[in-house]
Amino acid sequence: MTKRIFLSSPHMSGNEQKYINEAFETNWIAPLGPNVNAFEEELATYTETQGAAATSSGTAAIHLALELLGVERGDSVFCSSLTFVASANPILYLGADPVFIDSEEETWNMSPVALTRAMEEAKATGKLPKAVIVVNLYGQSAKMDELMTICDGYGVPVIEDAAESLGSLYKGKKSGSLGHYGIYSFNGNKIITTSGGGMLVSNDVDALARSRFLATQARDAAPHYQHSTVGYNYRMSNILAGVGRAQLEVLDERVKAKRDVFDRYVEALGGIEGVHFMPELEGTFSNRWLTTLTLDPNIVKITPYELMDVLEAENMEARPVWKPLHLQPLFEGCRFYGHDEESVVSERLFEQGICLPSGSNMTVEEQERVIAVLLSELNR
């Protein structure tokens, strides 16, 4: 069996051990420490935000952002439907009701048209959402100007879920820096990793200080252990933060590698009728975390799932596009607003989409192996 080609595996820089060794040599093994402080400062500098708070996961960062915005039982939170479940699970943690918003064609992200309709109906019922979670899918920024204008018009804060888009740009601004809060994930398959971890960023430094308090079990200032509010065990360890610091040093290299992978796929497959790659909105710069495309069933004879099976038989990992959350059993009965009356964009993308092997550490030769299989199947 030939060497397995993964969808997006961790890619170490070689400098991680330096920061890990420093943690061991200084005995900063427990959560928090110099690496955590430095990682927060360096990430805030990179994203051009006023501050950052390192967390145990991107999901934890979303949960903290919702808590900072006062989301509680009975409230509603609007959320992109075409995303991983972690974007919406924290809504349920707080007992609030998720309302899902469809995608649009140009970015595959939240539809301003659908969001406008959802906001109008919410205002008419006298119950605006406490927050809107906008996801930047597969590295591509949503139409943030339009979405922020809509939300600002109703006085609703935005959480920018940039778990997949660290290193991307929206009109020159860092993805994740445009909302009231931004979140990043450093899971093992992300463009940089701490094996597990996340980050909350904001220009509200007081809120970030509050997030750190909540993330360390909400311990009051007292010589004994005193707690007046519910807290969480959500802070990142000093060792993992050291890994993150080394990873952040090579983020721009990783973005270039991901974009090179995307460009090679486009060069090889872009001329095949019925094959459509995820677009890049004018004025944006995607990190191309994963190379994703759709197969038009009226033209292409093979389905995404059949193609995934063929690739798997060759020891190559591919995945479907996220199943929309409004179709998930967990969220049965939740409200959903489609892009228009003619079509539900997120459902079509799920039915026709596929994510190709896109690792920044995938060699050109390995990608050529994948492309050879794809050409054979797509040209049938």
Residue 336, in any domain of the structure? yes
Mean pLDDT of 241-251: 98
Domain boundary among 222, 249, 276: 249
Residue 193 tokens read as: 């990793």
* Residue 47 CB coordination number (10 Å): 22
pLDDT band at 297 (very low <50, low <70, confident <90, very high): very high
- What CATH number does the domain containing 21 carry? 3.40.640.10
Count of alpha carbons within 13 angstroms of residue 93, beta-carbon side = 19
Residue 196, in any domain of the structure? yes
Residue 3, in any domain of the structure? no
What pLDDT, on a 0 to 100 scale, did the predictor assign at position 341? 82
Domain, as residue range, for 348? 252-378
Domain boundary among 215, 249, 283: 249
Residue 1, in any domain of the structure? no
Mean pLDDT of 245-261: 98
Number of domains the chain is built from: 2
Residue 41 shares a structural domain with residue 144 = yes
pLDDT in tens, 91-142: 999 999 999 999 999 999 999 999 999 999 999 999 999 999 999 999 999 9
Mean pLDDT of 30-56: 96
Residue 71 tokens read as: 């989301």
Residue 286 shares a structural domain with residue 229 = no
pLDDT in tens, 326-347: 999 999 999 999 999 888 999 9
Residue 112, in any domain of the structure? yes
Domain boundary among 249, 272, 287: 249
Mean pLDDT of 271-275: 97
What pLDDT, on a 0 to 100 scale, did the predictor assign at position 343? 83
Residue 105 shares a structural domain with residue 216 = yes
User: Any catalytic annotation for residue 323?
Assistant: no
What pLDDT, on a 0 to 100 scale, did the predictor assign at position 29? 87
**Tokens 């993992």, located at residue:** 240
Residue 64 has pLDDT above 70, yes or no: yes
What pLDDT, on a 0 to 100 scale, did the predictor assign at position 113? 97
> How many Å apart are CA 191 and CA 164, to the nearest integer?
8
Mean pLDDT of 227-235: 96
pLDDT in tens, 129-187: 999 999 999 999 999 999 999 999 999 999 999 999 999 999 999 999 999 999 999 99
Residue 110 shares a structural domain with residue 169 = yes
pTM: 0.97
Residue 312 shares a structural domain with residue 368 = yes
Residue 230 tokens read as: 């519910």
Residue 202 shares a structural domain with residue 71 = yes
Residue 232 shares a structural domain with residue 88 = yes
DSSP secondary structure letters along 290-339: SEEEEE-TTT-SS-HHHHHHHHHHTTB--EEPPPPGGGSGGGTT--EE-S
**Tokens 């009965």, located at residue:** 333
Residue 187 shares a structural domain with residue 330 = no
Q: What is the mean pLDDT of the chain?
A: 97
pLDDT band at 38 (very low <50, low <70, confident <90, very high): very high
Residue 220 shares a structural domain with residue 119 = yes
Residue 226 has pLDDT above 80, yes or no: yes
- 281 in Cβ contact with 273 (< 8 Å): no
β-bridge mates for residue 284, sequence order: 170
Residue 298 has pLDDT above 90, yes or no: yes
If one compares 303 and 341, the residue with the highest pLDDT of the two is 303
Residue 38 shares a structural domain with residue 182 = yes
Residue 238 shares a structural domain with residue 303 = no
Which residues are CB-contacts of 359 (< 8 A; sequence separation ≥ 6)?
Answer: 5, 6, 7, 8, 9, 11, 261
- 129 in Cβ contact with 77 (< 8 Å): yes
- 299 in Cβ contact with 293 (< 8 Å): no
- 78 in Cβ contact with 131 (< 8 Å): yes
- 288 in Cβ contact with 62 (< 8 Å): no
- What CATH number does the domain containing 356 carry? 3.90.1150.10
Residue 156 shares a structural domain with residue 256 = no
Residue 6 has pLDDT above 90, yes or no: yes
Residue 307 has pLDDT above 70, yes or no: yes
Catalytic pick among 143, 190, 256, 323: 190
pLDDT in tens, 282-295: 999 999 999 999 99
pLDDT band at 30 (very low <50, low <70, confident <90, very high): confident
pLDDT band at 1 (very low <50, low <70, confident <90, very high): low
> How many Å apart are CA 306 and CA 109, to the nearest integer?
26
- 180 in Cβ contact with 204 (< 8 Å): yes
